[in-house]
Amino acid sequence: MITTHISEPNHFLLTGATGLLGRYLMKDLTLAGVPLAVHVRPNRRFSAQERIEAIFSYWDQQLGKVLPRPMVLSGQLGEESLGMAPSDIRWAAENCTSVIHNAASLSFVSTGRDSEPYISNVNGTRNVLRFCQEAGIHDFHHVSTAYVCGLRSGVVLETELNEGQEFGNPYEESKVEAEEMTREADFITSHTVYRPSIIVGDSQTGFTNTFHGFYAAVQLVNTMCNHSAMEKQFTGHSDFHPGRVTLDGTEDKNLVPVDWVSSVMSHIISNPQHHGSTYHLTPRNPVQIRTIHAVLQASAKMFGTQLFGNKTAIEDATEIEQFFYEHIRVYDSYWRNDPTFDATNTRKAAPHLPCPHIDYKKLLFLARHAIDMNFSWRDKLIKRDASSLVIN
């Protein structure tokens, strides 16, 4: 059977559809009946269309049914008119009334303003806004981050943005600039901002296709332990011994599972009465560093490292401690207590969707899942026969 989407001028154009959050948004919005178009760049293995088909094949398998496919618009965020073919530009102008701008570079390091994350996050957002203006799209949904608060402490409100705070890394700075730019665009009549905190994998299945943040720490500790075990096997001895972690253990970290972020966003997107506000997508109960520390130890089966105290410099760092801090340095800005994110708007808009609590057991489950995946994921293209093709 060939299913056809009747094109109506009511599509949401989603960027960043191939990323971790994007692929959950595609699934949840499709299930909610939201007509979707996705802006995707081809990669070395697949065309834009094939990349989306591969992601949907995964969802079809997970859900046990074939989902309708979105309209795929191939392009590049960094180019004029988002690098789309003239026919796709016309299609988007005729059919899209809203944009969900979710694409971003999550690079925490930068060599300057003309490199990442500024290229994708600042210039990319500017191009998306320019395209919206040309295409007559006035309803803008922007995926920002709770960490636009930079290095602030205390309570951070959803209504606040640039309070003169310092930033922990170029990523945070680039996301503030992007959010400011979208707020200043006067042709936007409805502006909805989603600010997740640290996104981890699926609370039910453990799935993730990216391995930064929490997963980078899991990978580093596991790599160090595997290396040490191999060394012991070949040489009969190992230099590895438990190290010292320069944190108290009482610091809070705000981890949120991707399935929850996506379901709250999909609820807000599909209910226009909630549009126009800013939402902190943050948990009710943050995870303490002592829990994360215990999970890292259990995941690597390496016990005995000590929480040494926040801001305590280790004068006599061992080689292994130096190696650890050298490799985790990119996340220096997260090596601290999080502020308290007020999430009044989110609680009001989605009281029926409480964030699943990330406790020791859940976090260990997520860590073990990433280890089982060997910290990598490749989408697989499963060719479907023509009888089940969905045409937009």
Ligand X SMILES: NC(=O)c1ccc[n+]([C@@H]2O[C@H](COP(=O)([O-])OP(=O)(O)OC[C@H]3O[C@@H](n4cnc5c(N)ncnc54)[C@H](OP(=O)(O)O)[C@@H]3O)[C@@H](O)[C@H]2O)c1
Instruction: Tell me if 170 contacts ligand X by CB under 6 A.
Output: no
Instruction: Report if residue 47 touches ligand X, rule: CB under 6 A.
Output: no
Residue 306 CB contacts under 8 Å (≥ 6 apart), including other chains: 242, 243, 244, 245
Which residue, among 171, 152, 174, 173, has the nearest Cα to 163 in the 3D structure? 152
Binding span for ligand X by CB under 6 A among 10-18, 87-95, 156-164, 335-343: 10-18
**By C-alpha distance, which of 155, 171, 159, 157 is closest to 333?**
171
Cβ 199 vs Cβ 253: under 8 Å: no
Site track for ligand X across 185-204, x = CB under 6 A: -----------x-xx-----
18 is an interface residue for ligand X by CB under 6 A: yes
Instruction: Out of 103, 148, 176, 296, point to the residue binding ligand X (CB under 6 A).
Output: 103
**Binding residue (CB under 6 A) for ligand X from 72, 96, 143, 350:** 143
Cα 25 from Cα 308, distance rounded (Å): 40
Closest to ligand X by CB, 83 vs 242, is 83
Binding ligand X by CB under 6 A: which of 11, 12, 13, 19?
Answer: 19
Q: Taking CB under 6 A as the rule, does residue 16 contact ligand X?
A: yes
Give yes or no for residue 286 binding ligand X (CB under 6 A).
no
Nearest to ligand X of 197, 305 (CB atom): 197
CA dist 236 → 228, 233, 239, 291 (Å): 11, 6, 11, 33
Please tell me whether residue 78 binds ligand X under the rule CB under 6 A.
yes
Task: Give the nearest distance from C-beta 322 to ligand X in angstroms.
Answer: 27
Segment interacting with ligand X (CB under 6 A) among 86-94, 97-105, 356-364, 384-392: 97-105
The verdict on 262 binding ligand X (CB under 6 A) reads no
The three-point CA angle 72-75-78 to 5° equals: 145
Per CB under 6 A, the segment of 19-27, 182-190, 215-223, 269-277 that binds ligand X is: 19-27
Q: Is 20 in the site for ligand X (CB under 6 A)?
A: yes
> Measured between alpha carbons, how far is 361 from 142 in angstroms, rounded to an integer?
32
Hunting for tokens 């909630």 — which residue is that?
274
Phi/psi for 16 (5° steps) reads: 70, 30
Binding site for ligand X (CB under 6 A): 16-22, 41, 43, 76-78, 102-106, 120, 124, 143, 145, 175, 196, 198-199, 210, 213
